Structure 1
């Protein structure tokens, strides 16, 4: 009886965590240095999809600023951000998740976009075009895309 109760509890816990909603951008818990310890989805990231997000111009487009040897099949790597080769040796998974979600919490002066932020933006478009969107915006990447990028980046260790 005790074993079946334990199995039932484990099954319910696993099912409820599998069905959990992603953490909303406004609810992400950053530590004092900008790291995010908990997964945004409760699901593991897919490194292959993370690589695709990083090199696709219409999604993450990370290679427009960063050089990444593992993504040499994609052209035109940028040089304004640091190389991401060996990034998993420099930062922990939580630090990488925080930087990808909103790098400004770790590096206040960075030009890197906040990929998982929806409010608090300066909207200069109103002064220039009058067409800046009002209200909250959608994040640049979904919670799962963030987890996928993190899963890819943690594979990048020094050779």
Structure 2
């Protein structure tokens, strides 16, 4: 019974995260976003079309952030084509193996920066946001989970997955 309950919980979580990566809501927040201490960006057509740093990220570094605890750590919830990672843990979110073929860099960027813009019910955290958050470790208060450079590195890596 416990395994069935876990399977149902995993299925529900997977559906919620999948919606964040694949669905577009009837209405998305658009316009300029300014948060204290962060680079300003604009949301348009369900994406952040321009790089947060003004230049492309490094896909090799992005791959590193995707598997590094304390930064992106994407593999904790998502399957990625990274053979050295045990994927029994990355089964809550959608498979990102071919995400670069499904989403533009701007769409990927928005889902990393603040996935709640796309799906307000997602359980995926906002990696480049500091305001309006709850249950933040006091040591991390006022700091995004990723820097603008790390976001761009992840965008470059995930965009390369076609």
The question of a shared fold, defined as TM-score above 0.5 by the shorter chain, is answered with yes
Aligned residues: CA RMSD:
2.3
Query: 1:98-120, CA deviations, whole angstroms, 9 ceiling, x for partnerless residues?
Result: 11111111121111110000111
Q: Which sections of structure 1, spanning at least 5 residues, go unmatched? A: 1-22, 126-131
- How many aligned positions are there? 126
Q: Is the 8 A contact 1:103 1:110 kept in 2?
A: yes
Query: Secondary structure at the residue paired with 1:59?
Result: coil
Query: Secondary structure at the residue paired with 1:116?
Result: coil
Query: 1:19-58, CA deviations, whole angstroms, 9 ceiling, x for partnerless residues?
Result: xxxx95372211252x101100012200000000000112
* 1:37-116 alignment runs, 5 A limit: 37-69=49-81, 71-76=82-87, 77-116=89-128
Q: Is the 8 A contact 1:51 1:149 kept in 2?
A: yes
1:139 equivalent in structure 2: 144
Q: TM-score, normalised by structure 2?
A: 0.70
Q: TM-score, normalised by structure 1?
A: 0.72
Q: Does the C-alpha gap of structure 1 residues 74 and 135 become closer, same or farther in structure 2, counting only changes over 3 Å?
A: closer
Query: 1:87-137, CA deviations, whole angstroms, 9 ceiling, x for partnerless residues?
Result: 0111111101111111111121111110000111124x7xxxxxx639951
Structure 1: distance between partners of 2:69 and 2:141 = 23
Q: Does the C-alpha gap of structure 1 residues 75 and 40 become closer, same or farther in structure 2, counting only changes over 3 Å?
A: same
Structure 2: distance between partners of 1:121 and 1:148 = 24
Q: Which has the larger radius of gyration?
A: 1
Out of 26, 30, 42, the position equivalent to 2:43 is 30
Q: Does the C-alpha gap of structure 1 residues 48 and 141 become closer, same or farther in structure 2, counting only changes over 3 Å?
A: same
